[in-house]
Amino acid sequence: MPTKTFLNLPQEKRAQIESAAIQEFAQKGFRCASVNAIVANSGIAKGSYYQYFSDMEDVFSHILTIARQKKLSLANELNSGNGRDVFAYLRFLFQVEILFELREPELAAIEHHAYHENKDAPDNANTPLIGGASFFNEFLVQGILADDVATWVDTKFAAQLLGAVYHLLTRQVILRLGDTAEALRSGEADIRADPLAQSLLDNLMDLLEAGLAREPAIRKDFYSK
């Protein structure tokens, strides 16, 4: 986590450093990112950087935390209430991710890098990357306990599948949305009511549910789309 020195900086200064780090990680991920590039693009001395963060892992974790907070804020904005079963909630997660990709493309790119680089827990073991393998494994375990997901599903293997779909297929959905994507980005359209977006999500959820649900033929008519 950032040092108290960083947290005590003026908001504008902190935002300048965070922006430089976001740009670097979005382009290169964690493994190829450079402290020198972050320092140069933020306009601070290299010595100052190490007063703010102990190492590259520290700043990457901080940026992932920012991404998580923004995604949770977006999820709260979209939240339509409790009572969703596991597949309805999975559909909700994909809607959040589509909007996150559209509205926060750099942060979304950083999360994708984190997923592919197996950096699954930005803060600690209790806060896994949303859409990461640990997140989806717990999600599926809860689905089995709720009798929504088949007991024969290997949750760790299925979690990798869901993670890949979450981080790769949402980009394909956005491409399929065409001009509708801009309306969703600007807020002119509501993803929950947009016919094209919901049609694509119908197809995606039918595929996932057919492979994971306890009784796919029955559950298809059970949960509300």
Please check whether residue 8 is in contact with residue 96, taking contact to mean a CB–CB distance below 8 angstroms: no
Torsion of CA 134, 137, 138, 139, to 10 degrees: 120
Per-residue pLDDT band for 180 (boundaries 50, 70, 90) equals: very high
Please check whether residue 216 is in contact with residue 210, taking contact to mean a CB–CB distance below 8 angstroms: yes
Torsion of CA 10, 73, 108, 95, to 10 degrees: -170
Per-residue pLDDT band for 224 (boundaries 50, 70, 90) equals: very low
Q: Tell me the pLDDT tens digit for each residue of 131-166.
A: 888 899 999 999 999 888 998 899 999 999 999 999
Q: How far is CA 139 from the centre of its chain?
A: 14
CA distances 19 to 11, 70, 216, Å, are 12, 14, 45
pLDDT, residue 212, reads: 87
Q: End-to-end CA distance of the chain, in Å?
A: 40
Tell me which of 8-12, 21-25, 118-122 is least confident. 118-122
Residue 149 forms beta bridges with which residues?
213
Per-residue pLDDT band for 179 (boundaries 50, 70, 90) equals: very high
∠ Cα 26 162 104 (to 5°): 30
pLDDT, residue 113, reads: 93
Q: Tell me 166's DSSP state.
A: I
Per-residue pLDDT band for 223 (boundaries 50, 70, 90) equals: very low
Q: Tell me the pLDDT tens digit for each residue of 117-135.
A: 988 655 444 567 888 888 9
pLDDT, residue 128, reads: 75
pLDDT, residue 168, reads: 87
Q: Tell me the pLDDT tens digit for each residue of 47-101.
A: 899 999 999 999 999 999 999 999 999 999 887 655 578 899 999 999 999 999 9
Please check whether residue 66 is in contact with residue 6, taking contact to mean a CB–CB distance below 8 angstroms: no
Q: Tell me the pLDDT tens digit for each residue of 188-220.
A: 999 999 999 999 999 999 888 888 876 655 554
The C-alpha atoms of residue 135 and residue 160 are separated, in whole angstroms, by 10
The domain ranges of the chain are 4-54, 67-219
pTM (two decimals):
0.87
Q: What is the largest CA-CA distance in the chain?
A: 62
CATH no. of 4-54:
1.10.10.60
Domain range 67-219, CATH architecture:
Orthogonal Bundle (1.10)
209: Cβ contacts below 8 Å, ≥ 6 apart: 87, 216, 219, 220
